[in-house]
């Protein structure tokens, strides 16, 4: 049975002076095209439909009923999926138009066509019953020992949208993966100490794929008492790929939990993923029509922290390094700028300043782009690393590090990509 696709003109998106309805926001595009050269997917495709201006016009024309989704659903799907949601167009736009949010609105309107049902179910499982999800992931790892095929099959099921990396999960996942819960158990670390000082919200990858990141994060936060919110969904995945109402529900649950933890004094909430940070910082836009909730969401956004908010002790690193500021979703500019400052002070001359345009497409693997093009993008990235003789590339998101590391391992093994938390190695 086909469901009707509805694009809600009244859904709210962020604007320079606070949230405004989608229908009003798209009208603010003057079609000046200042955004176009900042869009990684346009630079590859060179077609209007893949430019931020084109995407914005699609939403506008759909709302004006000048085109229909049924006119060319495959092109629409392609262009929506190829949007990395990196918001660099927003940064380039004179009116700071939130094109990623327009794309998300369209994604949501089309979500039934974008992600297969089993995947959505699986994602919800990860949010609602983390234990069962963990078991599933571990089964996947178990099967991997018997060859590449089983996880490929799983990848086939998941290889859509933002989970395209699962296609080559064999290549990119660490050899000895473990989930956060098991690793912390092995290290005799309590996940939920009493009277915590700080709340740590691990990202999806730190929870299930590369728990070392979470452990390192925990170590960096010492001697504070860290409350780890494992298996707590933030609503980010639903916000990106699913229902907005579900996203709001999940976010509300997180909000309540956080409020409950800090009854006396509001606790800072820290995360290791720049996407998660960006999403939670922008969460008030979810409640544009509910001022009460908006205020509470704003309180959470104000207490949000990222790895770059931590103090790193000064050490000398002799390796040439670079920072990959690529992110999916909002650019979370100040966090990235802060990170850059940290690297500059720590690595001094060894820190190579990179052109944002090259590095931001490390996230290419995270979004849906045709395989050959994704390889082209990544290869361009690797070439740049090689040209500058960089030995270490630090990323602000675990998934970006995974993706970039896989291609580096294949084409330029002299360099490796790491999450930012690993910038201070143990002596």
Partner 1 sequence: MQIKPYVLKQLKYLVGAENVQTDPVSLALNGYDCSQSRFRPDAVVTVKNPSLLEPLVCLLAQEKIPFIARAAATNHAGSCSAVKGGVVLNLNPLHQIYEINTACGFAETAPCTVTGDLQQALAPLGFFYAPDPASEKVSTLSGNLAQNASGARCLKYGNTCDNTLCIEFITPQGQTFTFRHDGPGPDWLGLTAGSEGTLGLIKRLRVKILPSPKHVKTFLATFPSLAASVQTVSDLVARGLIPRCVEAMDQITTQAVEEFAHAGYPTDAQALLIIELDGDLKQIKQDAQTLEELCKARGCQTFTAAKTEAEREKLWSGRRAAYSAMAALAPNVAVGDGTVPRSQLPAALAKVRGIIEQNGVTASLLFHAGDGNFHPQIVFDARSPEQTRRVNKALHEILKACVDCGGTVSGEHGIGVEKRAVMAYQYSRQTLRFFACIKKAFDPFNLANPGKIIPVGFEDKAALYQEQDPAVCRLAQEIKNRFEQKEKTAVIGSNSQWQTSGVQALSAACLNRILDIDKTNYMAVAQAGVRVKALLTALAQAGVYAQLPSDYNGTLGGLIASKAWPAFTAQMTGVQAVLPNGDIVNYGGKLMKNAAGYNLCRLFAGSVGALGMITKIFFKIYATPQVLPKQPAQPKLFFRPDPLFAAVKKTADPQFLFLSPAFEEERV
Residues that bind partner 1 (CB under 8 A): 16, 24, 27-34, 36-37, 46-49, 54, 57-58, 61, 66-68, 71-72, 75-76, 94-96
- CB neighbourhood size of 46 (10 A): 9
Q: Which is nearer to partner 1, 16 or 348 (CB)?
A: 16
- CB neighbourhood size of 43 (10 A): 16
Phi, psi for residue 203 in degrees, rounded to 5: -75, 170
Phi, psi for residue 418 in degrees, rounded to 5: -140, 160
CB of 38 to partner 1, least distance (A): 9
Q: Which is nearer to partner 1, 243 or 380 (CB)?
A: 380
CB of 35 to partner 1, least distance (A): 8
On the question of a cis peptide bond just before residue 326, with omega within 30 degrees of 0, the verdict is no
Q: Which is nearer to partner 1, 16 or 147 (CB)?
A: 16
Best CA proximity match to 182, nearest among 147, 211, 160, 203: 211
Q: Which is nearer to partner 1, 16 or 118 (CB)?
A: 16
Round to whole Å and give the CA distance between 26 and 58: 10
Round to whole Å and give the CA distance between 48 and 226: 48
CB of 36 to partner 1, least distance (A): 5
Q: Tell me the pairing of strands 20-21 and 12-13.
A: antiparallel
Query: Which residue is associated with the tokens 């060894």?
Result: 350
Distance of CA 356 to the CA centre of its chain: 17
Q: Which is nearer to partner 1, 49 or 191 (CB)?
A: 49
Q: Which is nearer to partner 1, 33 or 219 (CB)?
A: 33
CB of 308 to partner 1, least distance (A): 24
- Describe the crossing of helices 149-158 and 130-144 by its angle, rounded to 10 degrees: 140
CB of 325 to partner 1, least distance (A): 19
CB of 107 to partner 1, least distance (A): 16
Q: Which is nearer to partner 1, 12 or 184 (CB)?
A: 12
Copy the structure tokens of residue 145. Answer: 């020992």
CB of 67 to partner 1, least distance (A): 5
Residue 321: strand pairing partners: 351, 392
């Amino acid at each position: 049975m086909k469901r009707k696709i509805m694009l809600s003109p009244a859904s709210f998106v962020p604007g320079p002076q606070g949230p405004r309805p989608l229908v009003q926001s798209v009208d603010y595009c003057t079609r000046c095209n200042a955004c176009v050269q900042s869009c990684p997917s346009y630079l590859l495709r060179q077609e209007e439909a893949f430019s931020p201006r084109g995407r914005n016009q699609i939403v506008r024309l759909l709302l004006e009923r000048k085109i229909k989704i049924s006119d060319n659903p495959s092109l629409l799907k392609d262009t929506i999926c190829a949007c990395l949601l990196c918001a660099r167009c927003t940064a380039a736009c004179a009116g700071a138009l939130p094109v990623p949010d327009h794309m998300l609105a369209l994604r949501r309107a089309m979500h039934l066509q974008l992600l297969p049902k089993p995947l959505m179910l699986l994602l919800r499982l990860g949010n609602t019953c983390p234990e069962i999800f963990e078991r599933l992931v571990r089964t996947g790892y178990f099967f991997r020992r018997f060859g590449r095929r089983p996880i490929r099959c799983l990848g086939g099921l998941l290889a859509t949208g933002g989970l395209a990396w699962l296609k080559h999960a064999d290549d990119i996942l660490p050899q000895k993966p473990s989930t956060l819960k098991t690793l912390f158990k092995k290290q005799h670390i309590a996940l939920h100490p009493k009277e915590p000082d700080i709340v740590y919200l691990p990202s999806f990858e730190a929870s299930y794929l590369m728990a070392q990141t979470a452990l390192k994060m925990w170590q960096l936060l010492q001697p504070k008492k860290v409350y780890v919110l494992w298996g707590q969904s933030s609503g980010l995945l639903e916000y990106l790929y699913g229902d907005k109402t579900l996203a709001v529900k999940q976010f509300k649950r997180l909000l309540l939990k956080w409020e409950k933890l800090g009854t006396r004094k509001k606790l800072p909430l820290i995360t290791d993923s720049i996407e998660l940070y960006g999403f939670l910082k922008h969460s008030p836009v979810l409640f544009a029509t509910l001022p009460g909730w908006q205020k509470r969401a704003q309180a959470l956004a104000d207490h949000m922290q990222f790895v770059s908010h931590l103090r790193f002790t000064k050490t000398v690193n002799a390796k040439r390094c670079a920072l990959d500021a690529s992110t999916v979703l909002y650019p979370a500019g100040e966090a990235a700028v802060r990170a850059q400052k940290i690297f500059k002070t720590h690595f001094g001359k060894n820190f190579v300043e990179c052109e944002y345009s090259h590095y931001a497409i490390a996230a290419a693997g995270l979004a849906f782009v045709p395989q050959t093009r994704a390889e082209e993008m990544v290869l361009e990235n690797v070439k740049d690393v090689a040209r500058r003789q960089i030995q270490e590339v630090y990323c602000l998101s675990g998934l970006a590090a995974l993706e970039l590391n896989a291609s580096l391992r294949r084409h330029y093994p002299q360099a490796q990509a790491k999450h930012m938390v690993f910038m201070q190695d143990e002596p």
